[in-house]
Structure 1
């Protein structure tokens, strides 16, 4: 259906908003076979689904193209988060503004008494979150007896967040003959069960393969040493210099920490997490829209429903839980036909998991190195030249000031001062422990390592030892830089590392201390010479590998907090047999040892 065939007032609103044609999901929900029916719709983030269900429920809202005079709401939209509910309200306000439709918004964190007064004015549309809507329903402020259409936006997310009971209470309070439109990016079993219970002869619509919600997003992946994650984020922000960027973290604590680091480095940033009030969230989002801030650090839930027109960069600082989470996060950019970039920052030991996630999401990503300080300076030069060479209309006052400068300074000096002033406004890039190449440092004959001191670690190939993560571990535990570390020789059960003589004493003292949670079972001691010599000495003394514990430490898995759920647990640890009812582990009979 074209815009011309829509109700006149809605068509005018779309045209004024810049619409020339409808997206696939918008056309599908108002097609002849969809009119008046319950719908189950799967559409990608950024495909225009808010306008889609706004158009789909128009026959129930407008009477002959004009607003209905009924005092009780005709339409109810339920959204999982405050931000998404507020965004939906803003979209419907401009869509139905010319028709004079009244909209009431009911979300947690806002003044409940004011919301009750708004509900008493007779709005035709009510938008809200499950908890607040049920609260108004129980208090008698919300009357759904005359409801004609109910919309569940991002239903899968609402069930994931534990809102099943609230949704059922709300839907049970609505008339049997009302339409139910269910919008969900994914269709897990709980969503299918919900649809069967509350819908009748629902039409299934899926435009996932047709929408371009993710076709305009380019995906990149950078692999980094765990201690380099924050430095990599700084360099990515500096390389892209996006108008607006959003950085996703798994926990509130991670948001606080990264926000503090970025603001201390000179970035204009805001933070969004569950610990912020609605007023603080509104102020943060307004700062992003006004360009007073350019970077938003947020958790998944807090960022649901954020729609920023100039958002062109998404950085996954901590990995999403699954492929659906990756798509939801990344879908904040690349909207309405605009181009966007999504970058995953991946610790070395998470690479296989990310490869599997990308395959599951059918996303083609480019694996790149972390941008270095040299890369950023080169990009800055390009941007500066482009800016200065762009023709501008200078005012006479500016030309007079330029002429005065040239009387006292050469053109080269004026240009150099201009470049210096421009560069001073930008945060400096970070130096990285590892440039992401993952190259093995196997040559101990580098300059300065002829008299290196050898140290031995109680992990080897059987523990997945690899220079990619050994290097940052050694720097962190030993308080040295990568320039102090020479050859890394990995054997089956142990690893030998050459440390520059000038740093060996400090290194030995530092590694004698217990490690952090993520590496406290990695033992580092001074060896009796280079690997072969140390092995011969141990054999002569008949000690073998007694310095290696009888039970080797688990494979190194990186710091806490970067697990799939961001719950602070070490991911991918193999669990033993499940405990019995009385907490005793039972050995399966007849099983052969693996």
Structure 2
């Protein structure tokens, strides 16, 4: 179905960009009942919302004319939550209104504010910016909204989550009351509805996706991996899928660490976080869009609104904080009708949290283990055999050079050299310990308690304190002993030792055996199947929370020969010389004896 566009300039712009079939949200905003009205729109990520509100504005600022009128003050103001999204909206509206003579100016933090002031003073039709920078330009008098005919709030829920409520109210109050207000959001929460009631008039609500409906074009997979092997699992996933990927982390420190690690392994990776300058963030995104980088490690700053058309893979190295973050992160793939894949790395200690998170988003994920080195090498062989370097028709120069090679070497040697050349630029896969953890069984109903037996009037007897105050396992499963130089004198207690051991070693409570706390050290058992991975985790660089090393069972070491005990020598006080005066200590001792006698 073609776009129902009356304006020829916009129609030509859409055709030049290959927009032939409108999406559901684009058809909804172009319907006759939505013309020149305030709109409250909710649509899933990747559904073409930017082009949708760009087309919806045409009836207000362009009408039947083919070109926009000359103006100094802006006619449209678009507010976006992040710098990246604002710059992306600026680029989309620029090509959409280019043939109509539209001038679009961006105003975002991190860019040259004086340059933005000069562009605003020269006149423009549309201004796109972030709330803080727009408020700053309004306060300085560089941005005047006296002739503003429409205001668009893109990703309004994210702006409220980021704490821009005061800035939004200030900007909306500065615009004329007769303006159109278009509010676009992925979800219509209570705060969004309150904002719409306050600043919109007779708004038309448009819902283009069923509530609690996951993205149909995204396949979700939960990857089981040890807590200390998140990085190794990430490396193997990137090698196995070999596609453009966006990896999300929860902190800037994790972004720096993973970015440096992937670069050292040979990946073409870029980083994206709030600590980078705007020019550095733009460079990273352009490298990913243009194919010069294959992997982008990012915080949630990249989760909103970024359009990466060829992105096939999203990986959650750290679990999202909530359902909205999960959906917006994952929505960077599977856009504009393309299929995408979302991988969630889940350690054993966070499995329950991951299940609750996926369940709240109504997502049925496929649980699987990370690919092994053997599976990755088999996948490399398949890609090599299907590579276009082997299927493309050779040129005459290539055939001539091939004939010279065959004169010097046989075909098998040349093929082996080709394989070595192909593998030389591939990062090595990592060794990952597959830890299969069965899903938790539902909790059984607690049986009703009977009457409590009467307590006998027997004296309370405190149990004798032994060296084994904590025993977890009574079976005969094979175990390995470890020790830490922390004992009773350091307030060692299983209540805080067990979570610390689980976190450092990437294991669960069920894999910890007996814990024996002595005066100056603590010895504990680890299940033998995971003991080797536990030993590798506690000796990894950067693990300084607790010193742990392999040990023997208490009392299992060789008996120590104390040797002959040295004879004690009694101190003999030298005799006072005859006629000498008694010392002060002797006088005190004499007086003490006299007091006891009398």
Q: Decide whether the 8 Å contact of 2:221 with 2:366 is kept in 1.
A: yes
Q: Which runs of 5+ in 2 are unaligned?
A: 439-472, 485-491, 517-522, 557-598
Which residue matches 1:378? 378
Q: What displacement does 1:204 show?
A: 1.1
Q: Decide whether the 8 Å contact of 1:83 with 1:303 is kept in 2.
A: no
Bigger Rg, which one: 2
What are the superposed Cα offsets for residues 290-326 of structure 1, whole Å, 9 maximum, x if unpaired? 3221111111114533222211111111111111111
Which residue matches 2:404? 404
What are the superposed Cα offsets for residues 71-94 of structure 1, whole Å, 9 maximum, x if unpaired? 321111000111000000111111
Question: Matched residues in 1 for 2:493 and 2:400: separation?
Answer: 70
Q: Decide whether the 8 Å contact of 1:461 with 1:490 is kept in 2.
A: no
Question: Matched residues in 1 for 2:513 and 2:275: separation?
Answer: 45
Distance verdict in 2 for CA 1:172–1:528, change over 3 Å: same
Distance verdict in 2 for CA 1:151–1:389, change over 3 Å: closer
What are the superposed Cα offsets for residues 484-522 of structure 1, whole Å, 9 maximum, x if unpaired? xxx96747999633779x99xx97xx89xx9854x78x9
Question: Matched residues in 2 for 1:516 and 1:39: separation?
Answer: 55
Which residue matches 1:436? 435
Which residue matches 1:567? none
Matched, 1:183 2:184: yes
Secondary structure of 2:391 counterpart? coil
Q: Decide whether the 8 Å contact of 2:155 with 2:184 is kept in 1.
A: yes
Which residue matches 1:527? 553
Secondary structure of 2:296 counterpart? strand
Question: Matched residues in 1 for 2:136 and 2:357: separation?
Answer: 39
Question: Matched residues in 2 for 1:102 and 1:213: separation?
Answer: 37
Question: Matched residues in 1 for 2:288 and 2:214: separation?
Answer: 22
Q: What displacement does 1:105 show?
A: 0.7
Which residue matches 2:311? 311
Which residue matches 1:496? 525
Question: Matched residues in 2 for 1:528 and 1:142: separation?
Answer: 76
Q: Which runs of 5+ in 1 are unaligned?
A: 475-486, 531-594
Comparing 393-402 with 167-176, greater Cα deviation is found at 393-402
Distance verdict in 2 for CA 1:181–1:420, change over 3 Å: same
Distance verdict in 2 for CA 1:99–1:473, change over 3 Å: same
Which residue matches 1:109? 110
Q: Decide whether the 8 Å contact of 1:225 with 1:468 is kept in 2.
A: no
Secondary structure of 1:335 counterpart? coil
Secondary structure of 1:93 counterpart? helix
What are the superposed Cα offsets for residues 97-152 of structure 1, whole Å, 9 maximum, x if unpaired? 11111111111111111111111122111100001101110111111011111000
Question: Matched residues in 2 for 1:455 and 1:526: separation?
Answer: 7
Q: Decide whether the 8 Å contact of 2:29 with 2:53 is kept in 1.
A: yes
Question: Matched residues in 2 for 1:228 and 1:182: separation?
Answer: 43
Which residue matches 2:301? 301
Q: Decide whether the 8 Å contact of 2:214 with 2:361 is kept in 1.
A: no
Q: What displacement does 1:70 show?
A: 3.4
Secondary structure of 1:364 counterpart? coil
Secondary structure of 1:301 counterpart? helix
Distance verdict in 2 for CA 1:11–1:388, change over 3 Å: closer
Distance verdict in 2 for CA 1:211–1:187, change over 3 Å: closer
Which residue matches 2:458? none
Secondary structure of 2:376 counterpart? helix
Q: What displacement does 1:463 show?
A: 9.9
Which residue matches 1:51? 51
1:105-184 aligned at under 5 Å gives the runs: 105-184=106-185
Q: CA RMSD in A?
A: 3.5
1:438-587 aligned at under 5 Å gives the runs: 438=437, 454-455=481-482, 472=506, 490=513, 496-497=525-526, 516-517=544-545, 526-528=552-554
Which residue matches 2:586? none
Which residue matches 1:551? none
Distance verdict in 2 for CA 1:26–1:515, change over 3 Å: closer
Question: Matched residues in 2 for 1:212 and 1:187: separation?
Answer: 14
Question: Matched residues in 2 for 1:498 and 1:45: separation?
Answer: 45
Q: Decide whether the 8 Å contact of 2:513 with 2:527 is kept in 1.
A: no
Secondary structure of 2:159 counterpart? helix
Secondary structure of 1:311 counterpart? coil
Matched length: 501
Which residue matches 1:548? none
1:338-357 aligned at under 5 Å gives the runs: 338-357=338-357
Which residue matches 1:250? 250
Question: Matched residues in 1 for 2:260 and 2:177: separation?
Answer: 52
Secondary structure of 1:3 counterpart? coil
TM-score by length of 2: 0.77
Distance verdict in 2 for CA 1:204–1:394, change over 3 Å: same
Distance verdict in 2 for CA 1:463–1:279, change over 3 Å: closer
Distance verdict in 2 for CA 1:379–1:461, change over 3 Å: farther
Secondary structure of 1:284 counterpart? helix
Which residue matches 2:94? 93
Question: Matched residues in 2 for 1:224 and 1:148: separation?
Answer: 54
Which residue matches 1:325? 325
Question: Matched residues in 2 for 1:363 and 1:38: separation?
Answer: 33
Q: What displacement does 1:63 show?
A: 3.8
Distance verdict in 2 for CA 1:499–1:334, change over 3 Å: closer
Q: Decide whether the 8 Å contact of 2:481 with 2:524 is kept in 1.
A: no
Question: Matched residues in 2 for 1:298 and 1:465: separation?
Answer: 29
Distance verdict in 2 for CA 1:351–1:438, change over 3 Å: closer
Question: Matched residues in 1 for 2:343 and 2:61: separation?
Answer: 42
Secondary structure of 1:247 counterpart? strand
What are the superposed Cα offsets for residues 211-252 of structure 1, whole Å, 9 maximum, x if unpaired? 99932211111021111001111111000100x211111111
